[in-house]
Amino acid sequence: MTPHSKSNRRPSIDDGAPGRSGDSIAEILRRRRKDAELTLQELAERCNLASSTLSKIENGQMSPTYETIIRVADGLDIDVTELFSGKPSHPVGGRRTVTRAGQGVVRSTAQYTYEMLAADLTGKQFIPLLTTIDARSLTSFPDLVRHVGEEFFYVLSGSVTLHTEHYAPTTFQVGDSCYFDSTMGHALVSTGDEAARILWICSRVIAPLEA
């Protein structure tokens, strides 16, 4: 999603923002769980996830999907952006932030690579992400993703196909956009020669959709 480094290495779940250090989601999750004095099993029950899944995420053996990140944030009773930035949520009025090109916080899942914009502001009403769609087919997803909220995306480069419940798969080219209900199962896959890049905006998630 963010411009590749000179090595062209795909960012991993342990990468922080380009040009600066940053804790991985695994490290942030482990720290937040311990701060909350929760065992893996206790947090797993709150998130409606298997404790083995949380253990693998904490140990960097599994890349969580966005849906899983939302569930974990809800289980920890923190803003979802805190699992990207590691900063506690203390929103105040009159806020402003600037994200320079390539300076967002980068996180990867098995399907997408996110560059989180305005990552230093928590408690935002919507979450802006520059996203590279690494997935090439629905086989990259255990299931369609669904969670409370609404989403909008705009295709910056390449082409993507949106798979959702209730609708036939729809392909989008550069300049195309879509707004949809996040509670409807959904998944985006790249369909061109290169991984597509989109501007993806998600509404703030208060709680995940119950399984």
3-state SS of 109-132? CCCEEEEECCCCCCCCCEEEEEEE
Considering only CA atoms, which of 153, 152, 142 is closest in space to residue 190? 153
Name the band, by pLDDT with cuts 50, 70 and 90, for residue 92: low
Task: Provide the H-helix boundaries in the chain.
Answer: 25-35, 40-47, 51-58, 66-76, 82-85
pLDDT tens digits for range 37-86: 999 999 999 988 899 989 988 888 887 877 788 788 888 888 777 776 65
User: What residue type is assigned to position 169 of the chain?
Assistant: P
- Contact, 118 vs 133, CB < 8 A? no
Mean confidence (pLDDT) of the chain: 81
Q: What's CA 9's distance to the chain center, in Å?
A: 19
Between residues 192 and 91, which one has the greater pLDDT?
Answer: 192
Least confident piece of the model among 12-16, 95-99, 161-165, 193-197 = 12-16
Name the band, by pLDDT with cuts 50, 70 and 90, for residue 90: low
**97: pLDDT strictly greater than 50:** yes
Considering only CA atoms, which of 4, 12, 5, 3 is closest in space to residue 108? 12
- Please give the pLDDT value at position 14: 36
Least confident piece of the model among 60-64, 142-146, 198-202 = 60-64
Distances (CA, A) of 2 to 35, 116, 121, 144, 191: 31, 9, 19, 25, 19
**28: pLDDT strictly greater than 50:** yes
Task: Please name the CATH architecture into which domain 25-87+102-203 falls.
Answer: Sandwich (2.60)
- Contact, 109 vs 140, CB < 8 A? no
- Please give the pLDDT value at position 181: 95
**207: pLDDT strictly greater than 50:** no
Report the C-alpha gap between 63 and 2 in whole angstroms.
Answer: 18
- Please give the pLDDT value at position 179: 98
